[in-house]
Amino acid sequence: MQALVDAARRKGSVLVAGLDPIPSRFPEELRTLSEAEATLEFCQGILEAVEPYVAAVKLQAAYFERLGPGGMGIYAGLIEAARDLGLPAIADVKRGDIGPVAAAYAEAHLGVYGATCVTVNPYMGEDAVLPFLEEARRQTLGGGVFVLVATSNPSSREVQESTEPPLFEVISGLVAGLGRPAGDYPDVGAVVGATRPEIGSRARELLPETLFLSPGYGAQGGDTSGIRPLLDRNGGGVLVNSSRSILYAYERSASDYRNAAREAARDARDELRL
């Protein structure tokens, strides 16, 4: 995770820009292009616009997979472009398989495509996490694995808080046990949403030394009041993802999509300087 921490310090920003390209929401000037061409131009424009204000980018793989082989070429190209700009790339794939299948997913996203980190669903236990973690360690990019612990979607409570102890507490124990010292934080991080601060606070109690990736800020309703309980004892330890609020800022602005995204990223960066 050190690559993310170093980038955050260098930029003075804990903001992660999510690339979730939805062609139906692209600006009018891109509507004459094919979906693949428009996706590439839109994401490249966003990436270049927000670069001064973000610590990293997070690519939601599904939006590229739906475009077929060409979409995965765009995905790979954007990871490379981010790296050229000095931005670590988080592959948001939420894979949750085991054994050779998990190892193949890990090799694809962390090896072939070159992402710095990957998100993993731990429902099948540590067998679903270890292949990704082993691949991240082989790559020596200063990356690691973010494990889903307490997510920001509304129905997550029905599973993550339904047992005794709550499932998110069990997964927190898994995260703590698998991480290996790798600079400021262990190489296993936790996805902890900004929409449930009371759960986030408990997750921080259980994971005092862990780097959190926090979705839910912005369009999903999370704000700085949901981020503060996630901070570690040094007032850090959290990277905050914002996707739609940045990507589609032009929909509520007179600026073009690049300038609107730049302004939204700058404002979010400043707001998150807690």
The CA distance from 215 to 85, in Å, is 23
Would you say residue 221 has pLDDT above 70? Answer: no
Cβ-contact 90, 56 below 8 angstroms: yes
pLDDT of residue 151: 86
Digit-coded pLDDT (tens) for 7-55: 999 999 999 999 999 999 999 999 899 999 999 999 999 999 999 999 9
The CA distance from 36 to 145, in Å, is 29
Would you say residue 227 has pLDDT above 90? Answer: yes
To the nearest 10°, the Cα dihedral for 218, 222, 227, 230? -130
Output DSSP code: residue 181. B
> Which residue in 94, 157, 244, 266 is the catalytic one?
94
pLDDT of residue 224: 87
DSSP letter string, 205-251:
HH-TTPPEEE--BSTTSB-HHHHGGG--TTS--EEEEE-HHHHTGGG
Does 226 or 50 have the greater pLDDT score? 50
ω into 208 cis (within 30 of 0): no
For strand 56-60 and strand 89-95, is the pairing parallel, antiparallel, or unpaired? parallel
Cβ-contact 187, 147 below 8 angstroms: no
96 confidence band (pLDDT: 50, 70, 90)? very high
Any idea what the Cα angle at residue 85 is, between residues 94 and 193, rounded to 5°?
30
Confirm whether 58 is a catalytic residue: no
| Chain centroid to CA 50 | 15
- Domain segments of the chain: what residues? 2-271
**Percent of the chain having pLDDT more than 70?**
98
pLDDT of residue 219: 61
pTM of the predicted model over 0.85: yes
**Closest Cα partner for 216 from 238, 236, 237?**
238
pLDDT of residue 220: 63
Tokens coding 9: 């310090």
Would you say residue 110 has pLDDT above 70? Answer: yes
Digit-coded pLDDT (tens) for 160-187: 777 789 999 999 999 999 999 889 999 9
Helix (H, G, I), strand (E, B) or coil at 136: helix
| Chain centroid to CA 190 | 10
CA distances from 89 to 67, 174, 249, 255 (A): 20, 24, 22, 27
The per-residue b/e assignment along 49-60, b for 16 or more CB within 10 angstroms, e otherwise, is bbbebbbbbbbb
Digit-coded pLDDT (tens) for 181-212: 889 999 999 999 988 888 999 999 999 999 99
Q: What is the third-level CATH fold of 2-271?
A: TIM Barrel (3.20.20)
